[in-house]
């Protein structure tokens, strides 16, 4: 998305990726509990971190029978 000449990039989803099965298999380690987006303006790149209620997201994953994702969300490690 471009806003006022700046490119905004979604650096990834919070929680589970947008797949309904386990393919493609991949692992991501963020090592933190923040949502992220990227701003590109000319030659500058800025990674922005946003706090969110990751404990609530972890509980939702557990409720949806995804204890694995609940753990990933809690600690940022696969």
Tens of pLDDT, residue by residue, the chain (78 residues): 898 889 988 876 655 555 556 565 666 666 778 888 899 998 899 988 888 898 999 999 999 998 988 888 888 776
- Residue 24 corresponds to which tokens in the numbers above? 């493609």
Does residue 21 have a cis bond before it (omega within 30 degrees)?
no
- Quote the pTM value: 0.60
**pLDDT tens digit sequence for 38-59:** 999 988 999 888 888 989 999 9
Q: In this prediction, what percent of the chain has a pLDDT beyond 70?
A: 74
Rounded-to-integer distance, Cα 11 and Cα 36, Å: 6
Rounded-to-integer distance, Cα 54 and Cα 75, Å: 9
3-state secondary structure of 61: helix
Query: So what's the pLDDT on residue 56?
Result: 93
């Amino acid at each position: 998305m471009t806003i006022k000449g700046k490119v905004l990039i979604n650096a990834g989803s919070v929680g589970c990726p947008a797949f309904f099965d386990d393919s493609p298999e991949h692992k991501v380690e963020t090592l933190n509990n923040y949502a992220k987006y990227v701003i590109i303006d000319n030659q500058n790149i800025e990674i922005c971190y946003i706090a969110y209620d990751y404990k609530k997201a972890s509980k939702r994953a557990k409720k949806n029978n995804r204890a694995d994702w609940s753990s990933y969300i809690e600690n940022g490690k696969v």
